[in-house]
Amino acid sequence: MKLTLEELAIAEAARAELLETPLPPAMGQLGCLAAIAGVVVLVVWLPVVDALPALSFFTPFVMLFAVLGAVGGPVFLMFGGQSGRNAGRAAIEASLRVFEDANADRDELLRAAAVLLERAYISRGPSTELIIDLAEARDRVGEGLGLVLEVERHFAERFGSWPVFDSSEDAHE
C-alpha cells in the first residue's frame, strides 16, 4: 500500500507537532541531588552549630530538610522520573484506540501511526528505551499495520527515524 503525497504530508505534520511538544523531562536526577544535599547537611550541620552557636535555633528545620532529602531523595530518584514515560505510554494507548475504532478516518489513522512511531522510544540520558509492547500493538493495530509500516518506512527514509514495527534486517542496522 503506497501512501499519497497528501497522506505523507498529514503524517509529517503529525510528527512535527509531536516534536514541538516534547515529553515532560525526567525529574529523577533531582532525587539524587536532594539525597546528596541531605547527607551533606547532616554531616556538616553539627560542626557548624558548634562553631556558631547562634545558628542552633535553626537546627530542627535544617535537620528536617536534611532527613527529608536523605530519605525522600532516593524515593524520588526511583519513582519521580516516570512522567515522560507515562506521557509516552498514554499517547501510544490513545493512538492504539484510534486503530481499534472502526469509524476512524484515514487522516486519524495517519496521525495515530505517527504517534505510535514517534513515541515508541524514550530517551533519558545515555540510553534509549522502547516503551511499546510490540506484540500487543501489532494485535491492536490489526489491518492498519500496513499503513503504519508505510509511514515508518517514509519516516526512516526522510528523517532517519528508528524502526519500530519493521522487522527486516535492513531496518535495524
Q: Measure the N-to-C terminal CA separation of the chain; round to a whole number of Å.
A: 24
- Among residues 79, 90, 65, the alpha carbon closest in space to that of 30 is found at 79
The DSSP 8-state label assigned to residue 41 in this structure reads H
Q: 123: helix, coil or strand?
A: strand
Model pLDDT for residues 116-151, shown as the tens digit of each residue:
999 998 876 677 888 889 999 999 999 999 999 999
**Residues 150, 106: contact at Cβ < 8 Å?**
no
Model pLDDT for residues 109-125, shown as the tens digit of each residue:
999 999 999 999 887 66
Q: How far is CA 161 from the centre of its chain?
A: 16
| Other Cβ atoms closer than 10 A to 107 | 13
Q: How far is CA 40 from the centre of its chain?
A: 31
Percentage of the residues of the chain whose pLDDT score is greater than 70 = 90
pTM of the predicted structure, to 2 decimals: 0.70
Q: Please name the residues in contact with 5: beta carbons below 8 A apart, sequence gap of 6 or more.
A: none
